[in-house]
A = this chain, B = another copy of it.
Amino acid sequence: MSFEQRHGEYLARIERVLDQTLPAASLPPTRLHEAMRYAVLGGGKRIRPLLVYATGESLGVAAECLDAPAAAIELMHAFSLVHDDLPAMDDDELRRGRPTTHRAFDEATAILAADALQPLAFQTLITAPALVPYPLEQIRLVALLAEACGSNGMTGGQAIDMESEGQHLDPAALEHMYRLKTGRLLRAAVLSAACCPPGADTEQTHHLERFIDALGLAFQIRDDILDIEGTTEQIGKRQGADIARDKATYPALFGLPAARARMDELWAAAVAALDELPTPTEGLRWLAEQIVRRED
């Protein structure tokens, strides 16, 4: 069975894990819990969890060990989307084809729901029964997640993104922002799987890092292109939102042809890294293709 066929099972699996990880909507404070569930469930391509499972497959990690990092990283991703969409930030009304969390609930509830997803993500890593026998690996997972989300990761990237509206960045500065904003969490997805038992050796880790660093940038440039070429229906968020806010993006700064050329270059680098990985790479390869060819 190919990963293309298996990926549906992983999608069902992560949906189930997330559902069980989130507090029940019937538990008080109910409105907060409803908002947390709304922000995480019922939508999303689950690219980060799929990267965790595909990397784990490549390295022979049991899926039970991968559930917690996959869920933790998706919770953290959902947290960032809720805050990025707030009126004080990107002020978006649509996400994953539905009203953003602050529109569906209210601003205070959206801020708090996202705030509560962060500790839940860390809690998930350290309470997962499959990982409890591996305390050093759990600590490494906490470290990977914390580094990916702090001021030198996702949150720092969003801060630079906000500051860069209407600014002219050179390619290096733009790619640095991308590496922080989306790259670090994608990287954490791959490296989290690589630090679960049995773990990757230094050489495998090196190739996986090269792979995801290139793919992470390609992912973000594809996102920028879709903001221009996609429809609101396809991408589930308002088409043209980046241009409307004069965001610093690859195509906006350097044009669509340059953006496409850079994406192709990064795609080739990602594939070259996989070619050197001595373990099976079918899942990662398929997923990488989906990421750069995606229409949503």
Contact = CB atoms under 8 A, between A and B. Distances in A.
A108 B123 contact: no
A154 B248 CA distance: 36
Nearest to A132: B139
B83 A150 contact: no
Interface string A134-157: 011011001101111111110110
Contact of A156 (B29, B118, B127): B29
A209 to B, nearest CB: 20
B118 A119 contact: yes
Interface in A99-122: 106-109, 111-112, 115-116, 118-120, 122
A288 interface: no
Most buried by B among A33, A79, A88: A88
A115 B82 CA distance: 12
- Tally of this chain's copies: 2
B86 A151 contact: no
A229 interface: no
Interface residues on A, range: 35 or more
B146 A112 contact: no
Contacts of A126: 139, 142-143, 146
Interface of A: 23, 28-29, 31-33, 36, 79, 83, 86, 88-89, 106-109, 111-112, 115-116, 118-120, 122-123, 126-127, 135-136, 138-139, 142-143, 145-153, 155-156, 158-160, 162-163
Contacts of A159: 29, 31-32, 109, 112
Contacts of A89: 108, 111
B123 A111 contact: no
A201 B123 CA distance: 24
Contacts of A143: 123, 126-127
Nearest to A107: B88
A116 B163 CA distance: 16
A79 B139 CA distance: 23
Majority SS of interface residues in chain A? Answer: helix
A36 B142 contact: no
Contact of A88 (B29, B108, B136, B155): B108
Contacts of A139: 126, 135, 138-139
6 contacts: A23-B151, A88-B111, A109-B159, A112-B158, A112-B159, A122-B146
Among A79, A89, A122, A158, residue most surrounded by chain B Cβ atoms (within 10 Å)? A122
Contacts of A107: 88
Complex A-B, nearest 6 residue pairs according to Cβ-Cβ distance, in ascending order: A88-B107, A32-B159, A116-B151, A119-B150, A123-B146, A119-B146
Given A29-B151, A83-B115, 7 more contacts: A29-B156, A31-B159, A116-B156, A119-B150, A122-B142, A126-B139, A138-B139
